[in-house]
Every structure is written in C-alpha cells, then in structure tokens.
Amino acid sequence: MDELTSNRVGVIGAGLGGLAAACTLAARGYQVVVFERRTALGGKAAVLSEAGYQFDMGPTILTLPGMLRRIFAAASRQLNDYVDLVRLDPQWRSFFADGSTLDLLADTAGMTRELDRFAAATAPAVPSMAAGYSRFLQLSQRMHDVSNRYFFSRPVDSLVDMFQAGSLFQPSTLGDVLALRPGRTVAGTVRSQVRDPRVAQMLDHFTQYVGSAPDQSPAVLCGIAHMQTSEGVWYPRGGIGVVPRALECLARDLGVEFQTNVEVREIVTAGGAVRGVMTDDGRRVPLAAVVSNADAVRTHRELLRSTPAARAFERRRTYEPACSGVVLYLGLDRRYEHLLHHNFVFSRDAEVEFDDIYRRGRPAADPTCYVCAPAATDSDVAPPGGEALYVLVHTPYLRPGDDWRAMFPEYRRTILRKLADDAGLVDLERRIVFEQALTPQDIHDRYRVLNGAIYGLSSHGRFVGAFKPGNRSRRLRGLYLAGGAAHPGPGMPLVLLSGWLAAEALDQDAVARPEDRRAERSAAISSDVVPA
Ligand SMILES: Cc1cc2nc3c(=O)[nH]c(=O)nc-3n(C[C@H](O)[C@H](O)[C@H](O)COP(=O)(O)OP(=O)(O)OC[C@H]3O[C@@H](n4cnc5c(N)ncnc54)[C@H](O)[C@@H]3O)c2cc1C
C-alpha cells in the first residue's frame, strides 16, 4: 500500500451515522473522505422547504442529546455553539379511541399525578395505575443500566460477544443477564406491570422507535422508556435538519472531504482486506479502510457481491427489514391548539394493527398516527397562524408487488379520517394549502434502504432480536458498519453511537495511520455511553 492510501479512510453515505464516524475519525487525526450519492447530507434527516413551510422529512423526536454532545466534545467543541436545543415536556400527548388523552411527562412524580387524573376520569375501578407505571420504569432503568455496560459500549453482534463467554456464569453477570428478562417480550413485560390497556399501548409504542412489533421484540427494549424519560425529548431550534448541518460544519472544520452526487458501486478488496472503492463515475479510489453507512445488508449484497465476506454475512443469519411508513407533510392555514409538539393518535386495537403490519404485511386498516405540530415551539416553520403538520403512519416493509402509487390515495383517506375521528382534526382536509407525501417506495428509492425500511433491521426474536450486524466486519479487514442496520440499531442517538463505535473499532485496529492528533484522543467508550 502506498503512502497516500495508507492514511486515507472512506465513509460511504452521509447519513447521521456516516457523519458521526467521519467527525470522530477526523478528530483523531485521520484523513477522511465521505461519498454521498445525493446532493444533500444527512440521509433520512432531510428537510422539505416549500410555500413558506418547513418540514423535517424523517426524524422529528430527538432523544439522548448526550450522544451528539459526545461527538462534538471528542473534537473539543461544545454542542451548544452549533445547536440550540429546546426541551419538550410533556414529551407526547396520546389520543385514545375512547376519547381520552394522556400526556407522557419526563418526571415520575408529574407522571404519577397525570396517571391519577387519567385513572380518576376514565377508569376509577383500575387499582394503582401510577404504581404499575413506576414499577415498569424501575425495570426499564435496570435494563438501561445493564445495556449501557454491556451492549452500548462495544461493537457487539451476539449475546456471547456481549457478555464475553468466560464471565457469563459469574453470579453478578448472571444477575445482569436475568435483569434483561431473556425469552420475554416487550408486550409481556409491559403487561406484567401495567394493567390499563391504554397505558400499556402507550408504553408498547417505544418499540416503534425501532420499527418492530412489541409482542415479537425482546424485553430489553423496555429500556428505551427510561432512556427517554431520564434524558428528555428535545427540539433543535430550526428543526432536526440543524443536526446534520452542525455535523457537516464540524466535519469540514476538521478537514473532512465531501464528494456529493457520487455513488459507491463497489468496495474493492484483495487478500481479505479493503483496498478502496469504485465510484459510479468510474474512479477507483484507494483507501486503507471504509466505514459503510449504507444499509448493512445492501453493503454486502451490492457493494461486496460474491466475495467471501458477503457469503459469510448471508450465512450468519437471516435479515428481516424493520417497518416502513407513509408520511404526509401538510402545510395548514391554521393551528390546532389541542395538539402538543408530539402526538400519537392510537389505533383501537393494537394487536390487530401490529398483526397487519408485522405478520400479514398489509397496511393497518385502523393505524396509529404519529402527528408532529412544531409551530408552537418554532413559529418559523409556517406562515403566521399556520402549521407545518407532519403525520407518520407505520406500514409493512415493501413486499413484491406492492404498488404504492395505486395504494396511496385510499390510505391517505384512511389517515385523514382517523385524525378527524380520534384526534378532533375535523376540518383538516379543508385547511391544507400545501401537501406532499413520502411512501415506502419513496423511502426505498431516496435512501437506498432494505425494502423501504425506515429503521434498518427488525428487532424480532425473544433472545437475539436486539442484535444487529456488528460495527467491525468479521470477515473483511478494514470494513466497518455504521447506521440504523448496524449495531446498536436505528434512531438518531443510536446511529450516532454506531458511527462512533465504527470509528473507535477502526482506530483500535490500526488499519490506517492518523496524521496527527487534532483533538485529545477520547478514552474508549465508558459505561455512560448512553447516559443514565
Ligand atoms: C419518516 C421517518 C421518521 C423517523 N423518525 C425518527 C424519530 O422521530 N426519531 C429518531 O431518532 N429516528 C427517527 N427515524 C430514524 C432515523 O432517521 C434513522 O435511524 C437515521 O437517520 C438513519 O441514519 P443512518 O446513519 O442509518 O443513515 P441514512 O439516513 O440511512 O443515510 C444513509 C446515506 O447513505 C447514502 N448512500 C447509500 N448508499 C450509498 C452508496 N452506495 N454510495 C453513496 N452514498 C450512499 C444515502 O444516500 C444516505 O444519504 C425516522 C426515519 C424516517 C425515515
């Protein structure tokens, strides 16, 4: 390998995971080049600005800002100098089909009062709703703590990896394993503590952050509840698009080179190691290592094709996509005062809904709608008095024969009817002055994901559902994975962490030589990776 090659590392894709990896590597002195097939950086964290309205096209709920802070701190920067974060509390408003509403509050004492109010108004016969919630949160906290120590701190891809075989049967480790309730599901764990079906439906919904069914996902995902309530829900002033812009700014500051409108067609390998990439404009770019932020499965199937690494990846397990979704971006000439910034309008029967989406592979007839109404927090997103309403409904991942061009008009009607019936948005259709939508097919085409999946790979499987492909390739030296379809999974904070873990693994392996140490090299990730 020549001098030029040995110092340069590539990142395929400028989603949040790719940007986090690029910043972390550049902060450690590596010469980094990012290839992005689109013009805009940020991947799914895209922005739509039209007719005086501004919509975040993908993620809207920002949790665990500590992860973002850590990436800036590793480069000796302060996140606050780049992003103005506003805390949202209540975190969500839940609308149930019986007409009741319940707000999710960060603070347990406040939530106890809210649940007492909810119980008194709607279910006086159900005993101790608040006590059940608080027991659930204690369980959730313990799971989060164990996950922090074993799961979030390393680029693991299996249970054995996670607990390191040798220590698995030591009493303290065994206690940690049992705290994760192996073999139990999220749905079962929630219902073992919370008897009210509406509160259970609300808590189940944390598994929608990873696009998976609560009755097929491992209990450990109950830890998400504590992560959110303890660290809060945040809105970056100016919209989520501020996050990739801030990361881009940091990356450029650290000397990262961006090549946009450039698609990587192949990862070039020789002798069991990465040697570079081939781009769609016919260039062979020599590189010492590559972090792929493209979908992990498509990286192997399309960029590594019939290499031994690709074959080994397929043999290791089967890969089921997480759910997809339909998003409506509705520019309105009014606001709805009864909506909070984040709202869930729940289905009448969650079992039927999840059965449709996750087992039968068809859009739910009565779906849960997530509604984001940001104008009260940030009046710049819409003309005066208006609203940039965002509605997301989860759907199955794309199956052969799905034709969303034909399916969309009827499903749009289903969604608008649901919002009128169960969230009081009766005049919604008349108040639309701008409209655009994203279907599963659009998500598939725009972001090059697996079968239109929003959140990478599903978390289904009672024992191993939480595990995704690890950040360090087992078979190909110099290949690292970052993004929603890699460890530790999807969602903004976790993909940022995945970029960090991929960069950390690359650095540990010494597959390339950093030029200098521009920032203090950060210590290996400690147990507070996802702060408790
Ligand atoms: C509608 C929607 C709502 C969501 N809501 C939330 C939410 O509220 N909160 C939350 O935390 N998360 C949410 N998410 C999930 C979150 O957006 C994702 O988990 C995260 O942004 C994915 O980041 P990533 O690093 O995997 O990269 P991606 O965003 O998938 O980006 C990958 C990039 O790689 C590029 N690429 C792919 N292949 C190539 C190639 N061969 N050559 C060059 N470039 C390539 C793509 O163009 C893309 O820019 C939502 C997602 C969507 C779509």
pLDDT in tens, 207-224: 999 999 999 999 999 999
Mean pLDDT of 323-337: 98
Nearest CA owner, ligand 1 atom 2? 58
User: How many Å lie between the centroid of ligand 1 and the Cα of residue 357?
Assistant: 21
User: How many Å lie between the centroid of ligand 1 and the Cα of residue 69?
Assistant: 20
Given a contact cutoff of 8 angstroms between Cβ atoms, the answer to whether 22 and 13 are in contact is no
- Angle CA 147–357–38, to nearest 5: 75
Does 126 score more than 90 pLDDT?
Answer: no
Nearest CA owner, ligand 1 atom 15? 491
Quote the DSSP letter at residue 301.
Answer: I
CA distance 18 to 8: 15
Indicate the domain borders of the chain. Answer: 3-43+239-317+464-509, 109-226, 323-447
271-296 pLDDT, tens digit per residue, is 999 999 999 999 999 999 999 999 99
Backbone phi, psi, residue 61, to 5°? -100, 110
42-74 pLDDT, tens digit per residue, is 999 999 999 999 999 999 999 999 999 999 999
So what's the pLDDT on residue 427? 97
Instruction: Please choose from 35, 293, 304, 344 the residue to mutate so as to test ligand 1's pocket, defined by most ligand atoms within 8 A of CB.
Output: 293
Nearest to 22 by CA among 6, 3, 41: 41
500-529 pLDDT, tens digit per residue, is 999 999 999 999 989 865 544 444 333 344
228-253 pLDDT, tens digit per residue, is 999 999 999 999 999 999 999 999 99
So what's the pLDDT on residue 4? 44
Instruction: Please choose from 44, 298, 444, 494 the residue to mutate so as to test ligand 1's pocket, defined by most ligand atoms within 8 A of CB.
Output: 44
So what's the pLDDT on residue 171? 77
Nearest CA owner, ligand 1 atom 13? 59
Residue in the block written with tokens 């001098």? 3
Q: Which two tokens stand for residue 6?
A: 């040995």
- Please give the model's pTM, rounded to 2 decimal places: 0.95
| Distant-in-sequence, close-in-space partners of 522: CB < 8 Å, separation ≥ 6 | 27, 73, 74
Confidence of residue 135 (pLDDT cuts 50, 70, 90): very high
Q: Which two tokens stand for residue 526?
A: 């400690």
So what's the pLDDT on residue 516? 63
369-416 pLDDT, tens digit per residue, is 999 999 999 999 999 999 999 999 999 999 999 999 999 999 999 999
Confidence of residue 6 (pLDDT cuts 50, 70, 90): low
Does 159 score more than 90 pLDDT?
Answer: no
**CATH number for the domain formed by residue range(s) 323-447:** 3.30.519
So what's the pLDDT on residue 530? 47
Does 3 score more than 90 pLDDT?
Answer: no
Nearest CA owner, ligand 1 atom 6? 59
Given a contact cutoff of 8 angstroms between Cβ atoms, the answer to whether 459 and 465 are in contact is yes
User: How many Å lie between the centroid of ligand 1 and the Cα of residue 58?
Assistant: 8
Confidence of residue 174 (pLDDT cuts 50, 70, 90): confident
Q: Give the amino acid at 161.
A: D
Given a contact cutoff of 8 angstroms between Cβ atoms, the answer to whether 84 and 237 are in contact is yes
Confidence of residue 175 (pLDDT cuts 50, 70, 90): confident
CA distance 272 to 405: 43
268-277 pLDDT, tens digit per residue, is 999 999 999 9
**CATH number for the domain formed by residue range(s) 3-43+239-317+464-509:** 3.50.50.60
Nearest CA owner, ligand 1 atom 18? 491
